[in-house]
A and B are shown apart, each in its own frame.
Chain A
Amino acid sequence: MGEAADIAREGEWLIAAWHGEIDMSNARTLEHETLEALRNSDVGLTVDLSEVGYIDSAGIRSLLTIKRLLQERQQQLHLVIPEDSVINKALEVGGVVSAIPVHRSIAGSRETR
């Protein structure tokens, strides 16, 4: 279980890579760690879910919470989810894909900043 988010910075964007499996045991921790790393001056946040093999409603709620908070602060949220990832379906059903821009790779996410 990857409890820690890998935080990196690319200019005025914060990149948070989540790992492993996300459920009620770790979703809030990831959410808080990611938000704590975000600066007021940041243009946006990319949450990289490339290395996530499982996500349930707890993880989806965390992503939607982050989305709302960033919207209030006029910051952008983008996600990276590879096309062949098994988590796509849950994220679609959970309304994440329609609410948050999704890129298929980190490289792809850079082009739209």
Chain B
Amino acid sequence: MGDTGTILLAMSTRYVHDSHAQEHLRRVQTVTDAALAHLTVETLLEELLIRIRELLRADTAAVLLLDEKHGELVATAAKGIEEEVEQGIRLPVGGGFAGKIAASGKPVVLEEVDHERVLNPLLLKRGIRSMLGVPLIVSGSTIGVLHVGTLQPRKFTPEDIELLQLVADRVALAINLRRDHDQRLIAGRLQRSLLPDRLPKVEGIEIAGHYHPADAGMVGGDWYDVFALKSNSLCVVVGDIAGRGISAAIEMARLRNAVRAIALLEEAPSVVLSRLNEFLLHFDSEVVATMVVGVVDANGTLRYANAGHLPPLVLNRHGQASIVDEPAEPPIGAFDSSSYRERTLALEPESTLILYTDGLVERRGRSLEEGLEALRRAAESPWTNLGMLCARLLESDQTEPGLADDIALLALSFTREAGNEIHRTYEADPRILASLRGSLRRWLAGHSEDLQLRQDILVAVGEAAANSIEHAHGPGRGVVQIDGRARDGMIEITVRDRGAWREPRGRDRGLGRSLMSSLMDEVRFHTDERGTLVTLRKQVR
């Protein structure tokens, strides 16, 4: 409240020799009372309206706040004319008494109220004869109006105007501080409520997400999201809406839910982005967002599409980081019928995918290229778990105090299946094949560097498992058991079920069997009363 202190000093100096000086000082003190500083905005408004009504010997006093979106003044607090607030009176900016004050930002005195100049029906009904109103101003812009009215005709003096403006400044400051505080509080809560509190658990995938508000806890429109799709794949999203504070957080909430709704129906990331573009353009032409939407399956295959967002960062199993080089595509909500290219990244076991927003790399006085390079280098320094990696990346850019922008960061690691053996039992259902391959890929990665060789084993085991699923059991029943062993450079994998081996019928029969024989060194089939056992062997070094 330093401003009012200064005003108080100025006024007391100016009026000290005046015959009304003592009285004026008393009046000023009445409305700048330090005790008022601790009141909530509602109580402060109430108290100030009571005091100003007494001081100016007015019958009514009211505060109207500007609703910028609709260009209207909304009755917020009133004394002597309380029904104004109860009825939620709204008045247009520009017209009438209050509207003119809001539009001009200057005090207005009405010595004789008439219908043409006062639009508020309640004031006329109440029989108000004279009025004085002043604007509520915060850093040069009008946020509302404070006015008083009298039942008897009255000439307001310059001192009255000055005093009312003093109260108005006080009210404006308090409202602004509260709005600011509320905004941060609400936006912060909203943002936190929208970040996934429990990340989905998927075998072989480790996930860490971080959200970091800008300086002074100011949240913005950045977010990350991870959720399971019906296909058991994971949908990963990192996005950024321009702007800060509550409006950005609200838009983010809307967009984030739209992504979820669309992704559940349309799993292809490129389609999700173009649908989202339609959604934004249809309902709101103002929001423009950048984002990466990806779908990761248990194999570490990432399909993704990028709408004007920063490219993914990939750390390979040897800890080398690279930024995925890709041509830019338009942000969401910018152009009609934007279409997006879908890309595929095969993520090796022990590799890590990092999606992030520009707050992580953009700094004043540094080019985007330099920022990306700094991020890439930071990712290459040693870390033991994903949480630590995220913390490292966030830290690496704190060279300049005070983050200008918020940051969302999402990291996914594909873990390796350690050990010389692997044992898995699956339901005999075609949908398990992808996760079977995922587990095997992660295990095989520890036993051979040869990608083609690992692929050959995957296809052969996949064939044996598919045959078990298709022919050894009725639908929805039975299990397939996979056991792998690695010894002295030899991989041996058995696929066991409780049915009899049968070749697929129809054309191209025997294809599965010939694939197995060609891709492996040795394939043996053994069928007895308990079922079929397929043993596959291959020398890997």
Interface residues of A (CB under 8 A from B): 1-4, 6, 19-21, 23-25, 51, 53-54, 56-58, 60-61, 64-65, 86-87, 89-90, 93-95
B514 at the interface (CB under 8 A from A): yes
Check if B527 is an interface residue, CB within 8 A of chain A: no
B278 in contact (CB, < 8 A) = no
Contact of A19 (CB < 8 Å), options: B303, B437, B515? B303
Could you say which residues of chain A place their CB within 8 Å of the CB of B508?
Answer: 57, 60-61, 64
Residues of B within 8 A of A56 (CB): 459, 462-463, 466, 512, 515
The answer, yes or no, to whether B452 is at the interface (CB within 8 Å) is yes
Per the bound structure, the CA–CA distance linking A87 and B434 in Å amounts to 16
Chain A residue contacts of B514, Cβ below 8 A: 93-94
- Give the chain B neighbours of A58 by CB distance below 8 A: 466
A56 to B437, CA, bound (A): 12
Cβ–Cβ contact B433 & A2, under 8 A: no
B346 touches A53 (CB 8 A): yes
Interface contact A20-B297, CB-CB below 8 Å? yes
Cα distance A65–B231 when bound, in Å? 26
- Asked whether B519 lies within 8 Å of A19 as measured between CB atoms, the reply is no
Q: How far is the CB of A92 from chain B (nearest CB, A)?
A: 9
When distances are taken between beta carbons in the complex, the residues of chain B under 8 Å from A54 are: 299, 437, 455, 458-459, 462
B492 to chain A minimum Cβ distance, whole angstroms, is 20
Please indicate the chain A residues that have their CB under 8 angstroms from the CB of B433 in the complex: 23-25
In B341-356, which residues have CB < 8 Å from any A CB?
A: 342-344, 346
Residue of B271, B299, B430, B431 touching A53 (CB-CB under 8 A): B299
A61 / chain B contacts, CB cutoff of 8 Å: 504, 507-508, 511
What separation, in Å, do the CA atoms of A109 and B469 have in the docked complex? 37
Q: Scoring B residues 322 to 349 as 1 if CB is less than 8 Å from chain A, else 0, what string do you get?
A: 0000000000000000000011101000
Chain A hits for B231, CB < 8 A = 1, 3
Q: Do B463 and A57 touch (CB < 8 A)?
A: yes
- Interface residues contributed by chain B, number (CB under 8 Å): 39
Q: Report Cα–Cα, A94/B460, bound state, in Å.
A: 12
12 interchain pairs, CB-CB under 8 A:
A1-B297, A3-B231, A19-B268, A21-B297, A25-B433, A56-B512, A57-B463, A60-B515, A61-B508, A86-B451, A93-B515, A94-B515
Interface residues of B (CB under 8 A from A): 231, 233, 267-268, 270-271, 297, 299, 301, 303, 342-344, 346, 430-431, 433-434, 437, 451-452, 455-456, 458-459, 462-463, 466, 469-470, 504, 507-508, 511-512, 514-515, 518-519
Q: What's the Cα separation between A19 and B299 when bound, in Å?
A: 14
B268 near A24 with CB under 8 A, answer: no
Known interface pairs A21-B297, A57-B463; 13 further A-B residue pairs with C-beta atoms within 8 A, sorted by A's residue number: A2-B268, A19-B344, A20-B301, A25-B433, A54-B437, A56-B462, A57-B511, A60-B515, A64-B507, A93-B514, A93-B519, A94-B511, A94-B514
A33 to B470, CA, bound (A): 22
Docked complex Cα distance between A87 and B452 (Å):
9
Given A1-B231, A53-B346, A57-B512, are A21 and B455 also a contact pair (CB < 8 Å)? Answer: no
A71 to chain B, nearest CB (A): 13
Determine if B515 and A90 form an interchain contact, defined as CB atoms under 8 angstroms apart. yes
Q: A96 to B511, alpha carbons, bound, how many Å?
A: 11
- Alpha-carbon distance A32/B201, docked complex (angstroms): 33
Whether A93 pairs with B518 at a CB distance below 8 angstroms is yes
**Chain A residue with Cβ nearest B297:** A1
Contacts A23-B433, A23-B462, A53-B301 given; does A60 touch B452 at CB 8 Å: no
A23 and B430: CB pair below 8 A? yes
Q: Is the CB of A25 within 8 A of B470?
A: no
A21 near B301 (CB under 8 angstroms)? yes
In the assembled complex, the Cα of A86 lies from the Cα of B451 at a distance in Å of 8
User: Could you say which of A1, A21, A95 has the most chain B C-beta atoms within 10 Å of its C-beta?
Assistant: A1
Residue contact B511 to A23, C-beta cutoff 8 Å: no
Bound-state CA distance A23–B299 (Å) is 13
Q: Report the bound CA distance from A89 to B458 in whole Å.
A: 12
- In this complex, the member of A3, A57, A94 whose beta carbon has the largest number of chain B beta carbons within 10 angstroms is A57
Residues of B within 8 A of A90 (CB): 455-456, 459, 515, 519
B342 touches A25 (CB 8 A): no
Chain A residues in 8 Å Cβ range of B462 = 23, 54, 56
Top 8 nearest A-B pairs (CB, nearest first) are A25-B430, A86-B455, A57-B511, A57-B512, A93-B518, A51-B344, A61-B508, A24-B430
Task: Quote the shortest CB–CB distance from A4 to chain B (angstroms).
Answer: 6
Nearest chain B CB to A99 CB, angstrom units: 11
Pair B301/A6 contact, Cβ less than 8 Å: no
Chain B residue with the shortest CB-CB distance to A88 = B452
In whole angstroms, how far apart are the Cα atoms of A49 and B492 in the complex? 30
* Contact between A89 and B455, CB atoms less than 8 A apart: yes
Residues of A within 8 A of B267 (CB): 3-4
A41: min CB distance to chain B, Å: 25
